[in-house]
Amino acid sequence: MLKNIRIKALQDNYIWILQDRHKKCIIIDPGDAKKVINIIIKKKLVPKIILITHYHKDHIQGIKKLLIQYSNKKIYGPQFINKKYFFVTPCFSFTKLYLLKHIFIVLHTPGHTNHDISYFISPFLFCGDILFSGGCGKVLTGKYKDMFNSISLINFLPNNTKICSGHEYTLKNLLFSKKY
Ligand SMILES: [Zn+2]
């Protein structure tokens, strides 16, 4: 099984690093390169892959620096034409990615934007800004119907699934629920 490391970054973001026993690693939504590089150095990791859930700045702005520091990394992300400064291999729903000898299933989970994707590798789901502890993500450029369908899709995953979100919103979400 891959070891899952959670990094707190920016104001309330989470960056996730999956590490195998040979110290190779996958970085998910690196919004802050410095935080990631510190962990890589501390744990002597070898970054191999970057996964992107959606193209909001706070999830991708560390990529440029990471590519300068560690070349030859492959990047996977949603199919979306954007002015990006890096090449992304587009992922479609239910694509299986074979990464570090593990199978990742890509789920199309739009709603926060029109192009969000999530990555499932049992027991972890990396779902960016779709689902948080205590609430779902904000519908920004996505559609409410899509958000509902995405949450329904996530609901089909096994009960032991660990939701690895893109932000820490637990307290805010619970206070909101209490208020309304
Ligand atoms: Zn976002």
51-76: pLDDT as tens digits: 999 999 999 999 999 999 998 789 99
Distance 132 CA to ligand 1 centre (A): 12
Q: How far apart are CA 83 and CA 52, in angstroms?
A: 15
Q: State how far the alpha carbon of 137 is from the alpha carbons of 5, 83, 130, 165, 175, in Å.
A: 22, 24, 5, 10, 15
Residue 22 alpha carbon to ligand 1 centre in Å: 32
User: What pLDDT is stored for residue 86 in this prediction?
Assistant: 80
Give the pLDDT band (50/70/90) at residue 158.
very high
**173 alpha carbon to ligand 1 midpoint, in Å?**
16
Q: Given phi > 0 = left and psi -120 to 50 = alpha, else beta, which region is 44?
A: left
Structure tokens at 104: 């990742």
Residue 16 near residue 4, CB atoms below 8 Å: yes
Confidence band (pLDDT; 50, 70, 90) for 28? very high
Average pLDDT (10-33) is 97
pLDDT at position 83, please? 60
Name 22's bridge partners: none
Q: Where are the domains of the chain?
A: 3-179
CA of 23 to the centre of ligand 1 (A): 29
Per-chain mean pLDDT for the chain: 94
Q: Which CATH architecture has domain 3-179?
A: 4-Layer Sandwich (3.60)
54 C-alpha to center of ligand 1: Å?
7
Q: What is the pLDDT of residues 118-151, one digit of tens each?
A: 999 999 999 999 999 999 999 999 999 999 999 9
pLDDT tens column, 82-105:
666 788 999 988 999 999 999 999
Average pLDDT over residues 24-37: 98
| 24: β partners | 46
**Residue 180 pLDDT exceeds 90:** no
Centroid of ligand 1 to alpha carbon of 98 (angstroms): 26
Spacing, Cα 21 to ligand 1 middle (Å): 31
pLDDT score for 138: 95
pLDDT at 8 over 90: yes
Find tokens 């954007």 and name the residue. 82
Residue 128 CA to ligand 1 centre (angstroms): 7
> Who wins on pLDDT, 28 or 90?
28
Pairing of strands 74-78, 46-51: parallel
* Cα–Cα dist 125/164, whole Å: 6
The residue to which tokens 């890589």 are assigned:
40
Residue 163's pLDDT is 97
pLDDT grade for 164, boundaries at 50, 70 and 90: very high
